[in-house]
Amino acid sequence: MKKTLPRSEYPRPQFVRPKWLCLNGEWQFEVDSGDSGIHRGLLDRKLASRIVVPFCPESKLSGVENTDFLNAAWYRREVAIPAGWNEPRILLHFQACDYDATVWVNGVEVARHRGGFTPFSAEIGHLVKAGETATIVVRARDDNRTAKPSGKQSNGYANAGCHYTRTTGIWQTVWLEPVPATSLQRPRITPMLGAARFRVEAPLSGPSAGLRLVAVLSDDRGEVCRAEAPADTDFSPALDLPVPADRLRLWEPGNAFLYDIALELVTPDGTVVDAARSYAGMRAVTLDGFAFKINGKSVFQRQVLDQGYYPDGLMTAPSDEALVQDIRLSMEAGFNSARLHQKVFEERFLYHADRLGYLVWGEFGDWGVRHQVERGSPHVHQPAAALLAQWSEVLLRDYSHPSIIGWCPLNETWQEIEDGILALDDLTAGLFHATKACDRTRPVLDASGYSHRLREADVYDCHDYEQDVEKFRDNHAGLSEGRPFVNIGGNHRAISVPYAGQPFFVSEFGGIWWNPEAKEGEASWGYGNRPKSIEEFYARFEGLCHVLLDNPRMFGYCYTQLTDVFQEQNGVVAFDRSLKFDMARLRAAQTAKAAIEA
């Protein structure tokens, strides 16, 4: 009986080609604690142990479960290239490898990539052909005690507070794909509801003289429209796909409709050079006064903080079904959206959010940049520059997902407002303007909570973990008069520019600690005092939510959090996704009011 590969589903569902080969499964593996592997010959010999890819070596599912600092780790695998692949180019894809990756194929270096959250590729067709064998070697360097974007990964030996077990090396799918000499790259799809059309931009790789780009839009009744454009007159060929009124269907929260888009590159005589499939949702995001609107309708965002950790896979979901389960659990509890927190979620999660009509805010794992200042030569790793580069990769990867309705590159930055040039000001402005340059269709929050540095940010927010419902109400009573609750620094020093009347939400609150089984001295925490009974929990949850639901100037909130994560035990469900509460009561607390959609 053939053994099923772990996480064998197609890893890039918004840009699909028919031919591909999943490389998940058993690889040779060796920890390189001193990062001396090059000098010790690890590039040219078999490695000492085994690992199950795509699970990181710290995780149980990897078969390694080594949670010490792994300054470097090596992977090795021989792969037979399918004999039927006649395309001249072969791409080796890594969906994510943390943090500094170098890749060799048959002893030749083919790629270097820095960043733990975004995909990268290497062309290997010049080194290996169909029917031949490729020896793939990967070195992943990842000393988490140095400053770099790492999200919630602990930079101490053990888990502590809201920092969790580290992830080193490969933690998402590795795969191969054959492509022609001239090929399509990931399309950029923009829904334009006002004009009832999709704009499709399709950058190309390789020469394109004489070729044309053809796109066909389809729904569940068949072809809606088609369009074509020269592929050799613009750097990135683009075309519009108009949707007739009788075929116009909206992508809405909880009621998602997705159109299929087929893309082809064709020669003058109609020969197809390359082809791929994508999809898109027709929806518009707008801000109107204090309201946040989807397709012209105000939508109160009942967000939940989702950190995307799993007991056995850490940052990697154990299965595709586990990704769907998290979304369904959130919706069952009454949330209609999520803040994807301190992690860039894998594309399969966004695909399921697109399918299910689940709203999300895209965020980066920026924590770690501020742990310390990188010392030494200016030519070595610069954490802030790395953050800007890696965030740009996120925007390029995820632009076309209809479920994403806002961007936030920074979380809980902190620096007092001073008269001078501050590094945080430059970093915040650079990330904000890079986001705006890439995407004019969604609002951008300069930083979630704490230090807002840009008056032109589209929305404004705060974090407030006050557990007393009446004090929480007092904190937010001033919003109707333009005086929102704002996070401040020590000695009540200002850490943000003044509120400028933008749409406002509380992007972290609640976090109610609930683990009645926790024993004295056990690592277990949440915000505030633990309720004395489950009924006290329900009363506090409902009271805090209603303070924000009742506020006419509030466009949403984000409750902390969806799941317990290790010692942080303030989730709606347990770390293993077992239920802690009556989900119907949580849903009723958020949706019982007539003004709130179910």
- The CATH number of whichever domain residue 268 belongs to comes to 2.60.40.10
Average pLDDT of span 95-106: 98
* End-of-domain residue from the set 280, 309, 330: 280
Q: Return the bridge partners of 16, or none.
A: 277
154 within a domain of the structure (yes/no): yes
pLDDT value at residue 423: 85
State pLDDT tens for residues 167-177: 999 999 999 99
Q: On the CB side of 8, how many CA atoms lie within 13 Å of its CA?
A: 7
**What Cα–Cα distance (Å) separates residue 188 from each residue in 198, 203, 225, 508?**
10, 8, 18, 31
pTM to 2 decimal places:
0.96
135 within a domain of the structure (yes/no): yes
Residue 222 sits in which domain range? 194-280
Q: Check whether residue 316 and residue 416 sit in a common domain.
A: yes
Position 322, amino acid: A
Q: Check whether residue 218 and residue 335 sit in a common domain.
A: no
pLDDT-derived band at 421, boundaries 50, 70, 90: low
* Percent of the chain surpassing pLDDT 70: 97
Q: What is the DSSP letter of 82?
A: P
* End-of-domain residue from the set 151, 179, 207: 179
pLDDT greater than 60 at residue 13 = yes
Tell me what the pLDDT averaged over the chain comes to.
Answer: 94
Average pLDDT of span 92-105: 98
More reliable by pLDDT, 343 or 597? 343
Q: Check whether residue 265 and residue 126 sit in a common domain.
A: no
pLDDT value at residue 446: 97
- C-alpha angle 566/571/572, rounded to 5°? 145
* End-of-domain residue from the set 250, 280, 310: 280
- Report the range of poorest mean pLDDT among 204-213, 530-539, 548-557: 204-213
CA-based R_g, the chain, Å: 24
Calpha distance 500→486 (Å, rounded): 12
Average pLDDT of span 11-31: 98
Calpha distance 1→336 (Å, rounded): 42
pLDDT greater than 50 at residue 594 = no
pLDDT greater than 60 at residue 312 = yes
Largest Cα–Cα separation, the chain: 76
pLDDT-derived band at 375, boundaries 50, 70, 90: low
250 within a domain of the structure (yes/no): yes
pLDDT value at residue 1: 47
2 within a domain of the structure (yes/no): no
Q: Check whether residue 245 and residue 294 sit in a common domain.
A: no
State pLDDT tens for residues 44-72: 999 999 999 999 999 999 999 999 999 99
pLDDT greater than 90 at residue 596 = no
Query: Which CATH number belongs to the domain containing residue 394 in this structure?
Result: 3.20.20.80
Nearest to 425 by CA among 330, 495, 505: 495
Q: Is there a contact between 45 and 94 (Cβ–Cβ < 8 Å)?
A: no
Quote the number of domains for the chain: 3
292 within a domain of the structure (yes/no): yes
pLDDT value at residue 517: 86
12 within a domain of the structure (yes/no): no
10 within a domain of the structure (yes/no): no
pLDDT value at residue 332: 98
pLDDT greater than 50 at residue 89 = yes
Q: Check whether residue 349 and residue 479 sit in a common domain.
A: yes
Nearest to 81 by CA among 125, 41, 44, 130: 130
**Which residue carries 């209603």 as its tokens?**
546
State pLDDT tens for residues 251-298: 999 999 999 999 999 999 999 999 999 999 999 999 999 999 999 999
Quickly list H helices, 408-516: 423-438, 469-476
pLDDT value at residue 418: 83
Q: Check whether residue 393 and residue 521 sit in a common domain.
A: yes
Q: Check whether residue 153 and residue 201 sit in a common domain.
A: no
7 within a domain of the structure (yes/no): no
Phi, psi (5° rounding) for residue 214?
Answer: -120, 130
* Percent of the chain surpassing pLDDT 90: 89
Calpha distance 191→14 (Å, rounded): 15
Q: Check whether residue 324 and residue 432 sit in a common domain.
A: yes
Q: On the CB side of 64, how many CA atoms lie within 13 Å of its CA?
A: 32
Average pLDDT of span 429-449: 97
Q: Check whether residue 26 and residue 82 sit in a common domain.
A: yes
